[in-house]
């Protein structure tokens, strides 16, 4: 049985400014996105696009900028609406208290979709082509975020059998009983494994929207599975008790369904000419 290694959430102090590890993991996520997106420029069908619609590094930079705005705004609003709507309805100004924490992947995903829709519209690029370009570059950022969760000692898992070799005690949970390190599970599943599968799948030209569909389905399934080992938020235990599923699982259901529908609709589209 392991004991959570107490880690100072503040990485460095620069005068009165405290730089948190969690903020650095966001920077790492954005940096990884940029590096992978530049590599995507050499993949088909993007490498073969010519003329005004050709893909360039400037496109990657603009997509990243819009994506950062979408992640932060969507992630925060999603957390407020999905997880604590009553509280933020009565305390609306606290929506802007980002330093208090509280971000939602599903909200961040909707924010990214909205930002990339705007990018596609202003650059006259097909929306699903843009989303197919982005999708394989996202999971490493999710993995970085789970590292931040682990460093903060948050989002711990449910109680585990003490004989489990990697069962871990999280003192900040208020209990000294061993738990599943669910942050690590999510790092491995929706981060590394999803990245490897999606990157390999997207290396070959695919019908438009196919890569996006695989991302939606893959993330939804991996997150749904990981939620069985993650402790639900205390204020949402009632949802788990009444439905048998956590809020995270309920939010994954439409992702999985839409991913399946989108994939089969995508198969009606023609293959790119570069295939």
- What tokens appear for 274 in the block? 């570069």
Please check whether residue 224 is in contact with residue 249, taking contact to mean a CB–CB distance below 8 angstroms: yes
**Residue 123 annotated as binding site:** no
CA distance 213 to 261: 8
Residue in 275, 126, 146, 141 with CA at minimum distance from that of residue 212: 126
> 138 phi and psi, to 5 degrees?
-90, -45
Please check whether residue 143 is in contact with residue 192, taking contact to mean a CB–CB distance below 8 angstroms: yes
| Residues found in the chain | 275
Q: What is the β-pairing status of strands 168-169 and 2-3?
A: parallel
- What tokens appear for 109 in the block? 């995903």
CA distance 216 to 172: 33
Provide the 3-class DSSP secondary structure of residue 18.
Answer: strand
Provide the 3-class DSSP secondary structure of residue 3.
Answer: strand
CA distance 262 to 232: 30
Tell me which H or E stretch contains 168. Answer: strand 168-169
Neighbouring CB atoms inside 10 A of 31's CB total 14
Please check whether residue 125 is in contact with residue 53, taking contact to mean a CB–CB distance below 8 angstroms: yes
DSSP state, 17? E
∠ at Cα 217 (142, 61), nearest 5°? 45
| Residue numbers belonging to the annotated binding site | 146
């Amino acid at each position: 049985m392991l004991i959570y290694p107490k880690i100072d959430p503040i990485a460095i102090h620069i005068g009165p400014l405290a730089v948190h590890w969690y903020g650095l993991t966001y920077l790492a996520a954005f940096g990884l996105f940029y590096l992978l997106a530049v590599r995507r420029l050499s993949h088909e069908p993007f490498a073969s696009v010519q003329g005004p619609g050709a893909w360039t590094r400037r496109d990657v930079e603009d997509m990243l900028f819009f994506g950062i705005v979408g992640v932060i705004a969507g992630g925060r609003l999603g957390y407020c609406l999905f997880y604590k709507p009553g509280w933020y309805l009565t305390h609306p100004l606290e929506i802007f208290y980002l330093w208090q924490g509280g971000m939602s992947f599903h909200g961040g995903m909707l924010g990214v979709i909205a930002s990339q829709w705007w990018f596609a519209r202003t650059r006259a690029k097909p929306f699903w082509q843009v989303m197919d370009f982005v999708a394989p570059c996202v999971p490493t950022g999710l993995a970085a975020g789970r590292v931040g969760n682990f460093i903060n000692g948050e989002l711990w898992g449910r109680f585990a059998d003490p004989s489990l070799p990697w069962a871990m005690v999280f003192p900040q949970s208020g209990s000294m009983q061993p738990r599943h390190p669910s942050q690590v599970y999510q790092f491995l599943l929706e981060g590394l494994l999803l990245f490897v599968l999606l990157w390999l799948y997207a290396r070959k030209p695919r019908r438009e929207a196919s890569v996006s569909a695989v991302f939606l389905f893959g993330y939804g399934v991996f997150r749904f599975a990981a939620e069985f080992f993650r402790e639900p938020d205390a204020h949402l235990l009632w949802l788990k008790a009444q439905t048998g599923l956590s809020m995270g699982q309920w939010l994954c259901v439409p992702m999985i369904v839409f991913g399946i529908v989108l994939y089969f609709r995508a198969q009606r589209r023609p293959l790119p000419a570069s295939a």
